Amino acid sequence: MGVFAWRNLLTRPMRTLLALIGLSIPILGVLGLFSLSDGLRNMVGDTLSQIEGVIVLRENTPSPVASTLSIGVVDKIRAVPGVRAVAPEVWGIAPNIEGQGMLMRAAGNLMSKKGAGSIWDQPVISGQDYPTHKDLKSAVFPRALKERGEGRFLDERDVGKSSIVISRKIARNFPNDKGEPRKVGDRLLVGEEDCEIVGIYETGSMLLDVVVVMDIQTARRILKMPVETVSSIYVEAQTPPGYQAVCAAIEAAEPGVSARSMNEVQANFGMLMGQVDKVLMMIVSLALLVGVVGIVNTMLMSTTERFVEFGVLRTNGWSQANVLGLVTLESAYLGLLAGVSGCVLAWLGTLVANQFVGGGLRLGVSPFSLLLGLGLSVATGVLGGLYPAWRAARMVPMEAIRLGSH
């Protein structure tokens, strides 16, 4: 019976193909969207889990790059009870590095077949105040350098100097004249400042691996920021009262700033992704609905043509359930085929997409989502086949025979 159902599908290859495309596209979409949301979750999760402290920003600014605070805020926060260390930072989008703007570099990369760069690769400057940063226990970059990097991190020798610590990715993205990655001891032109690379770190997070770390005064000079301002303030709390309480205390002491502990950001991000997933589910349901309609249409056409055939089967002892089973099996096969092609397309799609997205955003289709895709498409096939199957089974054999004998 399985072979029979299979052949019935293959008899009309064009129609089967169209139905297949109609269902495999939604499946492809489902897998693609889930892969994207997974990728984002992993990327941001990777980053957030490396940062433990509290980040103080101007209220309603999305990131340190967009925030400015007066230097006076630093002392006010230092006075908040429960605060252990307070480290001001300056952040900004890096001006041309080695004379190359981002667009120029992306275009150049395309020409030289190095693969397209992306906006994720835009370098960002972080200026750190050594006297306060040295007290931090949870600083990200020194740890990343010690664990997986080379050279040394910034210290008192670098205050006011143009020493920089860059990521391995930046070292690769801005090679020297011979095309080799920059090494510790090499020089790098950041804006108009000729800087010396003293260390190279690697966090593995694509959001962090774009940061050029330098002294806060040098950063102000390059970014042309006034001396009395900082972008953000990194705060570590004492174990009691803990981060939650310290955040609240900081916001109470200094209106106009927001203090976010990374736990909180992570929770917020989780909630955001939850919302995104809900929207995804809605899109998915719509797409699958379209798939079901396509299957219903295909199977209705196919069963209407074969009424006489069903009559013949019934006169040979096939029960209504047998006919129902045959037609449902056909549409289940259709769903399975669509699922397999959708999954293969999605897998190929992520391979291609990863070539272009680059960095830490890695798209993938997990075995779970492949199974989900297959399951969904088979379910869609069965669902779409039920009505046509029921119609075929319910038909009176007598009338079908009459149709066939005239």
Partner 1 sequence: MIDVVDVWKSYKSGTRTLDALRGVSCTIEKGRFAFIVGPSGSGKSTLLYLLGAVDRPSRGRILVEGRDLTAMSEAEQNDYRRDTVGFIFQSFNLISNLSAVENVLIPFMPRGVTAEQRARAVDLLKRVGLGDRLDHHPYQLSGGEQQRVAIARALVKQPLVVLADEPTGELDSKTGDEIYRILRSLQESLETTLVVVTHDRRFITPQDLVLEIQDGLLADDAEPAAGFATGLHAAD
Least distance between partner 1 and beta carbon 303 (Å)? 14
Nearer to partner 1, 285 or 319 (CB): 319
Least distance between partner 1 and beta carbon 406 (Å)? 9
Asked whether 171 and 183 are in contact (CB, 8 A), the reply is yes
With both helix axes pointing from N to C terminus, report the angle between 320-357 and 2-10 in degrees, rounded to the nearest 10. Answer: 60
Instruction: Please report, as ranges, the residues that interact with partner 1 according to CB under 8 A.
Output: 1, 4, 7-8, 11, 308-309, 311-320, 322, 325, 396-398, 401-402, 404-405
Nearer to partner 1, 290 or 401 (CB): 401
Beta strands 163-167; 211-215: pairing state: antiparallel
Tokens of 240: 């009691």
> For 192, phi and psi rounded to 5 degrees?
-105, 5
Q: Which residue shows structure tokens 């900004």?
A: 92
Asked whether 151 and 145 are in contact (CB, 8 A), the reply is yes
Nearer to partner 1, 37 or 320 (CB): 320
E strand residue ranges, 34-190: 54-58, 69-70, 83-93, 124-128, 150-151, 163-167, 187-190
E strand residue ranges, 176-286: 187-190, 193-201, 211-215, 229-230, 232-237, 257-261
Least distance between partner 1 and beta carbon 346 (Å)? 32
Least distance between partner 1 and beta carbon 31 (Å)? 33
C-alpha span between 187 and 113 (Å, rounded): 26
Least distance between partner 1 and beta carbon 328 (Å)? 13
Asked whether 54 and 243 are in contact (CB, 8 A), the reply is yes
Nearer to partner 1, 12 or 161 (CB): 12
Question: What residues pair up with 193 in beta bridges, in sequence order?
Answer: 190
Nearer to partner 1, 7 or 172 (CB): 7
Least distance between partner 1 and beta carbon 321 (Å)? 9
Nearer to partner 1, 96 or 320 (CB): 320
